[in-house]
Structure 1
Amino acid sequence: MSQPADAKPDETMARIVAAVELGRSGQRGEARDALTALWDRIGADGDAFHRCVLAHYLADLQDSAEAELVWDERALAAVADLTDDRAQRYHSSLQVQGFLPSLHLNLADVHRRLSNTDLAREHLANARDLVQCLPEDQYGAMVRAGIRNVTGALDAGSTHRLDSHP
């Protein structure tokens, strides 16, 4: 996710992206610490775009499913305060509706791993209903594949972390 050339630089997003890249390079603890410090700076009532993106990525860096659930729930709560206008100040292609399938998919997966099958199925149903708003691009394909993988694991009764879904 990059900003359009004419957009005002977003220092907080630059720090979020840098921390995410740190995590992807294998430095999970350092990334988690950096994002947690940013969360503390932004605050629970700060910019909804920053809160949503930060919590979404921070969930993937947690060591326990219980901690991951807290961050996934924060991401979904933040998106309720987010507008398309605010998201598009970061990148003109973003729409709030496009965030929802992935947020519900992450909640479905973590509830599956916590054996909360009813909640997992509820969030999967939401993800399936909302995925139609995603384009047929790489991101849309990734979310659709995630829905299939989490559905298969849920149907099989698996509570293990999936390789295809961090």
Structure 2
Amino acid sequence: MYTFEIVIEASHFDFNAFGVQGGMVVIDDITYTAPAIYNCRYIPHIDPPIPISEETCKTIYCTFDDGKCIERIRSSGWRLSDEATGNLHTGIRMLQDKSFAYSKGIGTKTLKFGKFEMARQGLLEFCYYIAMKNTTLKIYTTLNGYNRSL
């Protein structure tokens, strides 16, 4: 069993024009999905997947409307919104769903999710949009007991 933590970091907001500084990065809906293997007894070389705990699912899953991740977002420098935000050209004008999280302004904003355990392989998948060319978004997991990130 391995213990991981997801970290999302936005930095290098170097926009400076018309009296406005900073930039913006938006994230929405973090979910965990995995393909299920059914009737494994008929496929001798494939073991059934190891179940993932309910606590792990609650830690990873975030719709930005409710749940554990809301508390972490509010204390991270990231913001929550359910309204249009940003400018007319590069901002969020039409909402597809409910709330989302965004980082705005100068400096680095780091959002850490709680630690969770995985007893099998997993895949982190993200969609993102960044309007500024020098802005960076880093998403990584840290593995307890190792001095490196995945």
* TM-score > 0.5, shorter chain as reference: no
Structure with the higher fraction of residues in helix conformation: 1
Structure with the higher fraction of residues in strand conformation: 2
**Structure with more contact order per residue of length (Cα contacts < 8 Å, sep ≥ 6):** 2
Q: Which has the larger radius of gyration?
A: 2
Task: Provide TM-score, normalisation by structure 2.
Answer: 0.28
